[in-house]
């Protein structure tokens, strides 16, 4: 990966990198390709990376979190760095390589919380039918 000056900032030591989001990059190293249809003569060249080690790195190739599983539900722009895991249920915390906790909003968890809240509100605060209101 190159910076704006064309200098190499992340060398070609990884199998795959995501786009930069919030100054962070998800990376996988020492992985193997697993083709989706390897036993079928379909001509499909789609594959996934298996095994290997996953990281969250910054744009200077500094490892922020080791064993960071790729999760599309995480909002990397919502980064909070603290000395303890985030108390909010909608945030997912990870222990960083520097001993601090890095947390991100997890939209998968946030959606579940919204669904539970919706059920709670509907159950305890039923919608009134105002169509027959004398007003």
Residue 104 has pLDDT above 80, yes or no: yes
Please count the structural domains in the chain.
Answer: 2
Task: Please tell me whether residues 30 and 81 are part of one structural domain.
Answer: no
70's tokens: 């790729």
Domain assignment of residue 134, yes or no: no
Please tell me whether residues 118 and 58 are part of one structural domain: no
C-alpha 135/C-alpha 25 separation (Å) is 58
Contacts of 93 (CB under 8 A, 6+ apart): 85, 86, 101, 102, 103
Give CA 19 to chain center in angstroms.
12
- Band (10; pLDDT cuts 50, 70, 90): very high
One domain, residues 100 and 57: no
Residue range of the domain that includes 55: 1-70
Q: Does residue 135 sit within a domain? A: no
pLDDT: is 28 or 121 the higher one? Answer: 28
Task: Indicate if 41 and 1 belong to the same structural domain.
Answer: yes
Same domain, 49 and 82: no
pLDDT tens track for 20-62: 999 999 999 999 988 887 776 666 778 888 889 999 999 999 9
Q: Do 53 and 95 belong to one domain? A: no
Give the distance, in angstroms, between the CA of residue 71 and the centroid of all CA atoms in the same chain. 3
- In this structure, the answer to whether residues 60 and 84 fall within a common structural domain is no
Is the pLDDT assigned to residue 125 strictly greater than 80? no
- Residue 129, pLDDT > 60, answer no
Flag whether pLDDT at 73 surpasses 60. Answer: yes
Q: In residues, how long is the chain?
A: 135
Round the average pLDDT of the chain to a whole number and report it.
85
Are 7 and 57 in the same domain? Answer: yes
Same domain, 4 and 64: yes
Both 16 and 53 in one domain: the answer is: yes
């Amino acid at each position: 990966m190159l910076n704006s000056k064309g200098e190499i900032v992340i060398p070609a030591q990884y199998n795959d990198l995501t786009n930069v989001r919030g100054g962070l990059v998800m990376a996988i190293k020492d992985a193997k390709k697993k083709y989706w249809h390897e036993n079928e003569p379909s001509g499909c060249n789609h594959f996934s990376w298996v095994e290997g080690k996953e990281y969250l790195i910054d744009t200077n190739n500094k490892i922020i979190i080791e064993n960071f599983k790729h999760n599309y539900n995480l909002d990397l722009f919502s980064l909070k760095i603290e000395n303890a895991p985030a108390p909010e249920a909608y945030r997912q915390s990870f222990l960083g390589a520097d001993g601090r906790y890095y947390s991100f909003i997890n939209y998968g968890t946030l959606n579940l919380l919204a669904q539970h809240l919706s059920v709670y509100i509907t159950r305890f605060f039923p919608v009134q039918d105002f169509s027959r209101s004398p007003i």
